[in-house]
Structure 1
Amino acid sequence: MTVPVVVFLDRATIPSQIKLAELPFEHQWVEYDYSKPDEVVERLKNADIVIVNKVVLDAETLSKLPNMRLIAVSATGYNNIDVEYCRRANIAVTNVQGYATQSVPEHVIAMLFALRRNLFGYHQDIASGEWQRNKQFCFFTHPIGDIAGSTLGIIGSGALGQATATLAKALGMKVLFAERKSESKQEMMDCRTGYLPFELVLQLSDAITLHCPLTEQTENLISEAEFNKMKSSAILINTGRGGLVDEQALVDALKSGQIAGAGVDVFTQEPTDESNPLIANMDMPNLLLTPHVAWGSDSSIQKLADILMDNITAFERGDVKNRVV
């Protein structure tokens, strides 16, 4: 019997202190820190199983890999995989869910506290000498708001959205879940139990947090029209996917005072650079940026790694577990 070859194309996306469990079957293990697009086919030419986080595996690439039986995605999102091709070619695809239900909500609330209390703005003011010029024991150059008693609108009611709601309620926030966005007036009114129309949630919320997948339907879900419906005191938090928010429209809304602040952990292109309007304007005191790390507490990543290896073990055993395809 041929020993299966398992290749991890971007091992460095999991920190070195996180341990991957040993697979309980005979196999050949190969790993690379990162893989460039022109290296993928050569590195996978003998692979039966590939582990991948962000490396793109499109139809053209997969068609050159006749031995491939399983793509184990070491993340929840799998938009970098051509799942339709995998379905036709009988290539199984698994992903990892439910591992960051503590880390992501805490990151959302941390961003919300920092922005609502203007911590970054005050930090910048001290650095620029405002305290020394003011000659008082304290100064108030930015408004300071409370979290308790405010309303959090959640777009996306999966495990992360629900976990964020639980944490927000514990802090005394009122939570609203938004129904899916629709252009149809009838569909806007026909909400599931426990949901409010998308536009109404935008209007009522003091803060909005995004936890929905990035699809053709949700690309630029929040853009100029949506910012115009939000309170001028509202804060937007995006730890979902970069493409959910029109980044230039967000910068414009912050500069014009259409909304009060934004916390962004995800970008349309990652890693991003100075050409991104968020990066170009990151000195604004009401804009807080982090490099796609909301999911990244050690405990969450260890849980991800354990589920990832369990998915591969289950597949090799003939079980269906966390299957996308």
Structure 2
Amino acid sequence: MRPTVFVTRPIIQGPLDRLAAVAEVQVHEGDELLGPDELRARVAGIDALFCHLTDRIDDALLEAAGPQLRIVANYAVGYNNIDLEACRRRGVAATNTPGVLTESTADIAFALLLATARRLVEGDRMVRAGQFDGWGPQMLLGHEIAGKTLGIIGCGRIGQAMARRARGFGMSLLYTQRRPLDGDLGRELGLSYVDLDTLLAQSDFISLHCPLTPETHHLLGRAQLARLKPEAILINTARGPVVDEKVLVEFLQGKRLAGAGFDVYEEEPRLAPGLAELDNVVLLPHIGSATFETRRRMGEMVVDNILAALQGLRPPNAL
């Protein structure tokens, strides 16, 4: 009997064809998020779960799936939606898609930096609303990027890709994380390792690229945001809860921070009250990896992980 794979939301065409050749593939048609009860009902009896960051994979879901479940394959680099300990206890492999969305996410992060600094979205709204009636010497004054200091919090693959883009603008580069990079790599990228407080105080732009862990939850809270320059701009394409969003709104409203560009949110898709009404922010709907090329590669990587598990092999991206 062919194994069964359940896919919680439709994905770009192509990657699932290889799965369909060896397994019965069931896809939840429709892009709406399945609730916990619905998801538990749909996974009963499956052999593999092709899930997304929006799906909570906990002990109750694993129990509902049954003992034949071999793998939970996340269509994402992050995996804070998966209870890894529960998977280990039940002998269920858990996987992600590392490295595949590095360039597309760094593109979005730098696009947010540019758009926020130069007030591009405000300008677009002005023109579309018919409010542009000619050039003015003080219209939509923004901040230059060339020669400024960028602080990168979390300098893994995406943080390093962000650094490469910033070098093209002649930016000075600071970074912080638990351990410094290899010296040669740091020198190659023009990065200087500092502690978090120093980075916050000295940076004109701050870009978040750290994972969400208990240690990084609200990494930027009131005390940390207070260290930023009033003209600083904060970019977050990592995970929403790394920033205390309510406090951020307070700082933006009070002009204690020049602006912010976000692709992720603390209680996604809900926004902290007041955030959407601010003109000095650019808000994207979590599209860091949303290119045809990246999403296709992500799908192929998930399929590779599932096929390995179905053959009794260790998946290439086991967590």
Give the TM-score normalised by the residue count of structure 2.
0.88
Q: 1:205 aligns to what? A: 203
1:28 equivalent in alignment to 2:24: yes
Verify the 8 A CA contact 2:306 2:315 in the aligned structure 1. Answer: no
The secondary structure found in structure 2 opposite 1:22 is: helix
Identity %: 35
How far 1:216 sits from its partner (Å)?
1.0
Verify the 8 A CA contact 1:155 1:210 in the aligned structure 2. Answer: yes
Superposed CA deviations along residues 99-151 of structure 1, whole A, max 9, x for unmatched, are 1112111111111111111223334455677644xxx5334233332211111
Further displaced range: 35-44 or 239-248? 35-44
Q: 1:4 aligns to what? A: 3
Verify the 8 A CA contact 1:51 1:73 in the aligned structure 2. Answer: yes
How far 1:84 sits from its partner (Å)?
0.4
Q: 1:98 aligns to what? A: 99
Distance 1:124 1:283 in 2: 14
Q: 1:160 aligns to what? A: 158
How far 1:315 sits from its partner (Å)?
2.5
Q: 2:287 aligns to what? A: 293
For 1:124-273, what aligned pairs fall within 5 Å after superposition? 124-126=125-127, 131-132=132-133, 137-180=135-178, 194-272=192-270
Distance 1:238 1:206 in 2: 14
Q: 1:88 aligns to what? A: 89
How far 1:239 sits from its partner (Å)?
0.6
Verify the 8 A CA contact 1:209 1:236 in the aligned structure 2. Answer: yes
* RMSD over equivalenced CA pairs, Å: 2.1
Distance 1:28 1:129 in 2: 54
Distance 1:272 1:21 in 2: 35
Instruction: Give aligned pairs, total.
Output: 304
Q: AA paired with 1:310?
A: D
How far 1:24 sits from its partner (Å)?
8.0
Q: AA paired with 2:199?
A: V
The secondary structure found in structure 1 opposite 2:19 is: coil
The secondary structure found in structure 1 opposite 2:39 is: helix
Distance 1:63 1:289 in 2: 38
Q: 1:323 aligns to what? A: 318
Superposed CA deviations along residues 157-190 of structure 1, whole A, max 9, x for unmatched, are 111111111111122212111134xxxxxxxxx9
Superposed CA deviations along residues 190-224 of structure 1, whole A, max 9, x for unmatched, are 96765211110111111001111111111111111
Q: AA paired with 1:230?
A: L
The secondary structure found in structure 1 opposite 2:235 is: strand
Verify the 8 A CA contact 2:304 2:315 in the aligned structure 1. Answer: no
Q: 1:72 aligns to what? A: 73
Q: 2:186 aligns to what? A: none
CA, structure 1 residues 131+42, in 2 after alignment: closer, same or farther (shift >3 Å)?
A: closer
Superposed CA deviations along residues 297-320 of structure 1, whole A, max 9, x for unmatched, are 111111111111111222234144
Distance 1:260 1:18 in 2: 43
Unaligned 5+ residue runs, structure 2? 184-191
How far 1:19 sits from its partner (Å)?
4.6
Distance 1:291 1:299 in 2: 19
Q: 2:56 aligns to what? A: 56
Verify the 8 A CA contact 2:19 2:25 in the aligned structure 1. Answer: no
How far 1:3 sits from its partner (Å)?
2.1
Verify the 8 A CA contact 1:74 1:305 in the aligned structure 2. Answer: yes
Q: AA paired with 1:260?
A: A
Distance 1:130 1:28 in 2: 56
Unaligned 5+ residue runs, structure 1? 181-189
Superposed CA deviations along residues 40-82 of structure 1, whole A, max 9, x for unmatched, are 2221111011110021121122123222111111111212211
Q: AA paired with 1:304?
A: M
Verify the 8 A CA contact 1:10 1:55 in the aligned structure 2. Answer: no
